[in-house]
């Protein structure tokens, strides 16, 4: 049974599942998330999960007989004019191609996605009431169309299935207003209702709903497939609304307040931190926690504005410790340490969707930073 499953399992199906969870358009402008190396039409023999792609990780995939590596950090960021093995990136690319291995990365799109990297960190810390610290703006569109009464339900359903109508924890959200549409069909048309050359009036429903901007093409396709008119009228409006489910960092609360030192010791143990750097202890109790995996110091002002007691991230610049020491406890656990459990997110997605596929978390510690 397992071999038959693998015969029909293609890498592109796994990639599609990952991108449903963390759509590529959610990545930041500097990023290069997505397919790094290889052809996704190949049948999957197994998936190796890692934070960083290194030569040792590629060797591990070869040893296991797996032809898919899924990483958090993209292997390739800058452009290359040639691939001749000058650095570890080029050597990884060459080795992957030689062994027919596909490399795929989900980076800031996974950081920004609901249930992504920062939610996993919050889970490990034990936070409740977790929400986005810095929601994305200008990611949403309003969509309006006009549909004959009898077909409104069918069209509305198709729009929802294409990605419209999600607001917070609600779906199928729309506003519907009855009215009257007019049109005159010209020669060469095939009108759904009315006669060619005659002004026609039709009872219609104005449907208003909301969608992520990257779903626009899918919504247009769904509308054209279900709307009865040859030339359906529709409009998209850009919105300034924040998308509260998508963005950078998260904030949440502990069940019970903890002393600063106790909290920091727990973080150090939970994330196996070799050296936990932090600002001066002031004797405050810790209950409201803001955090961002990786290089998240840019969110310090947001954490202060959120009245968080502590901000935890992977990297903080020296002068940021001066700027905020009177406002909030700042703790820096290391980039690798903060994002190491991202591999568990990949594992859960793949196990849920493809339970018979062989999946392993790498045994290679790819952290390049060592502590005495």
Q: Per DSSP, what are the bridge partners of residue 210? A: 142
370 assigned to some structural domain = no
**Residue 325 pLDDT:** 84
Helix (H), strand (E), coil (C) string for 13-28:
HHHHHHHHHCCHHHCC
The DSSP code for 314 is S
Query: Cα(304)–Cα(280) distance, rounded to whole angstroms?
Result: 16
Is 367 a domain residue? no
Q: State whether the Cα torsion 73-78-81-85 is positive or negative.
A: negative
The total number of structural domains in the chain stands at: 3
Do 274 and 320 share a domain, yes or no? yes
Coil/strand/helix, residue 321: helix
- Asked if residue 300 lies in contact with residue 322, where contact means CB atoms within 8 angstroms, the answer is no
Q: What is the CA radius of gyration of the chain?
A: 25
In this structure, the number of other CB atoms found within 10 A of the CB of residue 312 comes to 29
Binding-site positions for a divalent metal cation: 72-73, 111, 335, 339
Q: Please count the other Cβ atoms lying within 10 Å of the Cβ belonging to residue 51.
A: 22
Q: Please, which residues bridge with residue 292 across strands?
A: 313
Q: Beginning with the edge strand found earlier in the chain, give each strand of the sheet holding 242-259 in spatial order.
A: 128-137, 242-259, 285-292, 310-313, 329-332, 277-278
Q: Does 126 share its domain with 260?
A: yes
3-state SS assignment for residue 189: coil
Same domain, 88 and 172: no
Q: What CATH number did the domain enclosing 227 receive?
A: 3.30.70.120
Contacts of 277 (CB under 8 A, 6+ apart): 316, 331, 332
Task: Provide the pLDDT for residue 323.
Answer: 87
Averaged pLDDT in 10-residue chunks for the chain of 372 residues = 56 98 97 98 98 99 98 96 96 98 99 98 98 95 98 98 95 98 94 94 98 97 98 97 95 98 98 97 97 98 98 96 92 98 98 96 97 89
Give the pair of three-digit tokens for residue 321: 């410790």
Q: Based on the domain organization, do 304 and 328 belong to the same domain?
A: yes
In a domain? residue 21: yes
Residue the block writes with tokens 């800031």: 108
Of 200, 222, 239, the domain-final residue = 239
Residue 251 sits in the same domain as residue 297: yes
C-alpha to C-alpha distance for 122 and 249, rounded to whole angstroms:
10
Are 79 and 120 part of one and the same domain? Answer: no
Shared domain check, 50 and 121: no
Q: Which of 196, 211, 239 is the C-terminal boundary of a domain?
A: 239
307 and 357 co-located in one domain:
no
Q: How far apart are CA 312 and CA 300, in angstroms?
A: 9
On whether both 203 and 258 belong to a single domain, the answer is no
Q: What is the pLDDT of residue 4?
A: 46
pLDDT at residue 5, rounded to an integer: 43
**Looking at residue 138, what is its pLDDT?**
86
Residue 369 covered by a domain: no
Contact 211, 167 (CB under 8 A): no
Q: How far apart are CA 246 and CA 139, in angstroms?
A: 9
Residue pair 122/313 in contact by the 8 Å Cβ criterion: no
Last residue of a domain, one of 239, 272, 294: 239
Q: Looking at the structure, tell me whether residues 122 and 270 fall in a common domain.
A: yes
Examine residue 77 and state whether it is found in any structural domain, yes or no. Answer: yes
Q: Provide the annotated binding site.
A: 72-73, 111, 335, 339
Q: Does any domain span residue 368?
A: no
Domain assignment of residue 227, yes or no: yes
- Residue 232 corresponds to which tokens in the numbers above? 């359906």
3-state helix, strand, coil split of the chain in percent (to 5) is 35, 30, 35
Q: Which domain holds residue 67?
A: 2-106+341-361
55 lies in the same domain as 201 = no
Q: Which of 290, 289, 301, 293 is nearest to 258 (CA)?
A: 289
CATH of the domain at 297: 3.40.1390.30
Q: Specify whether 293 is located in the same domain as 206.
A: no
The answer as to whether 372 is a domain residue is: no
């Amino acid at each position: 049974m397992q071999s038959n499953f693998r015969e029909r399992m293609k890498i592109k199906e796994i990639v599609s599942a990952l991108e449903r969870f963390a759509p590529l358009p959610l990545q930041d402008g500097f990023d290069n998330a997505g397919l790094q190396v290889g052809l996704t039409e190949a049948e999957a023999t197994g998936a190796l999960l890692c934070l960083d792609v290194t030569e040792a990780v590629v060797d591990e995939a070869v040893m296991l007989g797996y032809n898919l590596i899924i990483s958090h950090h993209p292997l390739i960021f800058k452009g290359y004019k040639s691939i001749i093995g000058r650095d570890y990136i080029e050597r990884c690319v060459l080795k992957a191609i030689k062994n027919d291995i596909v490399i795929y990365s989900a980076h800031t799109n996974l950081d920004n996605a609901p249930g992504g990297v920062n939610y996993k960190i919050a889970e490990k810390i034990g936070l409740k009431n977790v929400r986005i610290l810095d929601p994305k703006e200008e990611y949403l569109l309003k969509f309006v169309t006009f549909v004959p009464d009898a077909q409104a339900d069918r069209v509305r359903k198709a729009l929802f299935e294409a990605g419209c109508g999600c607001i917070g924890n609600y779906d199928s959200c729309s506003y519907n207003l009855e009215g009257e549409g007019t049109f005159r069909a010209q020669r060469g048309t095939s009108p759904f209702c009315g006669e060619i050359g005659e002004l026609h009036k039709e009872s219609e429903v104005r449907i208003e709903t909301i969608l992520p901007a990257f779903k626009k093409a899918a919504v247009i396709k769904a509308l054209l497939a279900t709307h009865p008119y040859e030339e359906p009228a529709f409009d998209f409006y850009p919105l300034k609304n924040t998308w509260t489910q998508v963005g950078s960092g998260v904030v949440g609360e502990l069940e019970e307040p903890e002393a600063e030192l106790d909290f920091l010791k727990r973080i150090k143990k939970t994330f196996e931190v070799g050296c936990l750097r932090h600002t001066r202890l002031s004797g405050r109790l810790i209950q409201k926690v803001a955090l961002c995996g990786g290089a998240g110091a840019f969110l310090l002002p947001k954490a202060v504005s959120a009245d968080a007691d502590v901000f935890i991230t992977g990297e903080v610049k020296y002068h940021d410790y001066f700027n905020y020491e009177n406002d909030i406890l700042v703790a820096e656990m290391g980039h690798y340490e903060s994002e190491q459990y991202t591999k568990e997110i990949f594992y859960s997605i793949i196990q849920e969707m493809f339970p018979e596929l062989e999946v392993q978390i790498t045994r290679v510690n790819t952290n390049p930073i060592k502590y005495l």
